[in-house]
Structure 1
Amino acid sequence: MTRPTRHLCIATGQNLANLIPSLQLGATEVMILETPAMRDAATNLKRALEARGIACTRIAFDDATPEAIRTSAEAIAMELGTEPLVFNATGGHKLMTLALAGNLEALADDLHLVYAETRHDRLDWLKPLPAMDPMTDVLGIDDILRAQGYRRTADGNRDAFWQADADARANLTRKMGDDAERYERFFGTLNRLADYALADENRFAPRQEFEYAPGGRNAELLSEARRIGLVRWDDDTVLTFASPEAAAYFRGGWLEEYVWYKLRGLRPHDWAVNLKTQSYATQVENECDAVVAHRNRLLVIECKTSGFGRNETRDVGYIYKLAQLSDQLGGSMSRKLLLSARPINDDIRHRARDYRVDILAAADVRELVDYLKRWMRG
């Protein structure tokens, strides 16, 4: 069935349910009803729609009393007239949608009433005939961010030099990620030395020293790092980082690169590493190690290579921050993943479940691809 390209929706705190049908159905004009409480949400939705070339109009709706709702619904129906219309009834409260649907049906010659059932990835139609359509994958990272009141300020994906450097150390990165549990203590040591090297932002201190000369698998890892030019090491206690970038890699950047490799192989709808975002409302900037958009949902990934297990209050703080940031950037459909190179105890895992944060730690890191595939499938 051909659907009208003129749409009406109600601004809500979960605007993805408004954005998805407009993009999927090829809307050319969207009228956004805004109650006093949803003015900011209407601003965000308008920004997201206009970024995709869709004309938008914001219309005030008084929902203070049942009488005000009835009066507002009648006035809007009269203003919209008899032209064909898709009314997205997902937002707003019951009295609003009932009043609007009744008045629109009385006037419009061709009313299409839809509800975005995001839990089940479908569009449910009540008028003109009952029907169900599967949702298509229409939202990229920027669409979701704009609808939530944020914008992208930078990301690592678009830096060709970063990608070339990452490719040069691909084998080392895969080894560190796939065998993370074998290097548990050594990761902490490398992280600490890299921290010392980068402690003074005005003066890089490349020469650092182990308490004792690494041996066994740790020595093999350093030998590989030496072979590709990341460090200088003469099988003794002195380690020299080749550059600030090399130190940053051992301070934790390698795990972000590991995620990037796995995402590049899976090819989700949209993804980015080292993503920086800024709120339109507060100008506050946030940084995410990795963000994935697929099936109109956002997955926010936090990478940790050291620090967990020593201070439970701080650990819970990391998890809470990840949960809050994910909800702010991606809304109620977002998912959160903490990827840790080192083990995480059961108490912290329990707190993470309370905040709906998934964890892959130590030996579980190698299961990242399976986790991503499950999430992508839903």
Structure 2
Amino acid sequence: MKSDIHFCLVSKQATPNLAPVLAAEFRPKKVFLYVSNEMKKAADNLARVIKKYGIACEQIAAIDAYDISAIQNQLLTFLDTQSDQSIALNVTGGTKPMAIAAQEAFRMAGKSVFYVNPESNDILFLDAQTTPLSLTSKIRLDDYLGAHGYEVKGDVIRSLPQSEARNFLTSELIGHINVFSDAIGTINYYASKAKNTLEVTVNHPKIDKNWKQVVDMFEDAGILKLRDDKLCFADADSRAYANGGWLEEHVFGIVKQLQLQDLAINMEVTNESGIGHATNELDIAFLARNKLHLIECKAKIFRDDDKSGADALYKLDSLAALGGLNTKCMLLSYRQLRNADKQRAKDLRIKTIEGEHLCNLRNQLQSWIGS
């Protein structure tokens, strides 16, 4: 049931139109995007990604997004010019009147109609008794975000160099969260203070009892050295690692084991125009079943008067727009979150994993992805 031409109804949800186009077993030679005035920007974003793969793409302005009769007449006239072409309607997007009118016009013209199930990623053929086709489309993060109007800045980091010393350090920190959580919060604090100089003076009276043991572990891994009252970091990468980067790398490693569609660590994104919008860094981003998943990692101490927990949640809530309505977000914290932040996360429908629950991270991620 593969067709040479796809006729797509444009909406805010780009994935149902993009996935069939990029699937090798279903890829067309040309795509028509039927677009209302309100969806012109969305169509431009989608067309940019489609053309990147050498597929011809043309936009057709909808005469009226809500007038079924007008849409049907417009499309019947268009289909008269395509009578000898292998063309199929992707009826998944658009307004409901657009979908109703388009499906009827294609039926009258004897052309194929299909629908993309967003949950299963299957193509359902509506005009024939045909078994649904399960797409093997592997949309990558840069294309997915580009289709939703965002641009990835710089390289997409999909793998990290392996360090036995760092892996051992991480396993110790995750395996003894209740023992080391306060000391890690302190390490995180001092690392944040050393951003420009790579060294910072340590205030000993406030140091946790497990501080020295944690410092020794970081020193054994080549991350830092403690000389008298000075905490000195080996380089900028080591300082970032001590400033919570170790937790991001740990989570990234677990996600990578799941062998998902695509993933990245510390990815920077901005809107396509780059005007009036700050660049955002995504700690962990991955695609599973053509749905965007975002994880924000925190290793710091959340004090009662600290708004950083709320800030992280509001950041995640705003970033949900990156991938449309189906984007899923998670806040992952090495330390216990405040009750207020837990409630705020629940209100925003953001998943949280904290403290000792990190020990079972792989299973929790699998459950979250499948939910």
After TM superposition, the score normalised by the length of structure 2 is 0.89
| Change beyond 3 A, Cα 1:28–1:363 | same
1:246-268 deviation per Cα after TM superposition (whole angstroms, max 9, x unaligned) = 22211111111111221333322
Q: Which amino acid aligns with 2:39?
A: M
Count of residue correspondences:
366
Partner Cα separation in structure 1 for residue 305 and residue 86 of structure 2:
60
**Residue range with higher mean Cα deviation, 292-301 or 65-74:** 65-74
1:131-142 equivalences in 2 (<5 Å): 131-142=131-142
> How far off is 1:156 after superposition?
6.6
- Structure 1: distance between partners of 2:328 and 2:52: 25
Check if 1:36 corresponds to 2:33. Answer: no
Give how far 1:272 is off. 0.7
Partner of 2:334: 341
Closer/same/farther in 2, CA of residues 372 and 14 from structure 1, 3 Å limit: same
Q: Deviations over 1:201-238 (max 9, x none)?
A: 3xx1514214249686443322222223222236x654
Residue equivalent to 1:308: 302
Q: How does 1:22-101 map to 2 (within 5 A)?
A: 22-24=21-23, 25-63=26-64, 66=67, 67-101=69-103
Aligned pairs (5 A) from 1:288-307: 288-307=282-301
Between 238-247 and 84-93, the greater mean CA deviation after superposition: 238-247
Partner of 1:268: 260
Residue aligned with 2:43, SS? helix
Q: 1:102 to 1:165 in 2, by over 3 A?
A: closer
Larger mean Cα displacement after TM superposition, 294-303 or 171-180: 171-180
In structure 2, what is the Cα distance between the partners aligned to 1:207 and 1:322?
31
State whether residues 268 and 376 of structure 1, in contact with CA within 8 Å, keep that contact through their aligned partners in structure 2. Answer: no
SS of equivalent residue, structure 1 residue 80: coil
Match of 1:194 in 2: 191
1:254 to 228, 241, 246: 246
Aligned twin of 2:124: 124
C-alpha deviation, 1:287, in angstroms = 0.7
Preserved CA contact (<8 Å) 2:7 2:33: yes
* Distance in structure 2 (CA, Å) of the matches to 1:307 and 1:118: 39
1:354 alignment counterpart: 347
Distance 1:346 1:375, change over 3 A: same
Structure-2 residue corresponding to 1:19: 18
Distance 1:347 1:172 in 2: 31
The one-letter code sitting in structure 1 at the alignment partner of 2:218 is A
Q: 1:213 to 1:304 in 2, by over 3 A?
A: closer
Tell me the SS of whatever aligns to 1:258. helix
Q: Which whole-Å CA distance do the structure 1 matches of 2:337 and 2:322 have between them?
A: 26
Contact 2:45 2:147 in 1 (8 A): yes
Match of 1:229 in 2: 222
Aligned to 1:287: 281
- Aligned-partner Cα distance in 2 for 1:119–1:268: 16
Deviation at 1:301, TM superposition (A): 0.8
Using the aligned pairs only, state the percent identity: 27
- How far does residue 17 in structure 1 lie from its aligned partner after superposition? 0.9
Q: Does 1:243 find its partner at 2:251?
A: no
CA drift of 1:289 comes to 0.5
Letter in 1 for 2:333: S
Amino acid at match of 1:7: H
Counterpart of 1:107?
109
2: CA distance, partners of 1:350 / 1:279: 30
Q: Is the 8 A contact 2:72 2:105 kept in 1?
A: no
Residue type of the alignment partner of 1:183? F
Within the candidate set 370, 373, 378, 2:363 is matched to 370
Letter in 2 for 1:23: L
Of the structure 1 ranges 310-319 and 253-262, higher mean CA displacement relative to structure 2 is found in 310-319
Equivalent pair of 1:9/1:30 in contact (CA under 8 Å): yes
Residues in 1 aligned to 2:221 and 2:309: alpha-carbon distance in whole angstroms: 34
Aligned equivalents of 2:256, 2:66: Cα separation in 1: 52
1:261 and 1:323 map into 2 onto residues whose CA distance is 24
The alpha-carbon distance between structure 1 residues 60 and 215, as it changes in their structure 2 partners (threshold 3 A), is closer
State the TM-score, normalized to the length of structure 1: 0.88
- Matching residue of 2:176: 179
SS of equivalent to 1:298: strand
1:167 CA drift (Å): 5.2
In the aligned structure 1, how far is the partner of 2:244 from the partner of 2:71? Answer: 54
Q: Aligned partners of 2:32, 2:185: CA distance in 1, in Å?
A: 54
Cα gap change, 1:166 to 1:149, in 2 (>3 Å): farther
Contact 2:144 2:323 in 1 (8 A): yes
Gaps of at least 5 residues in structure 2 are: none
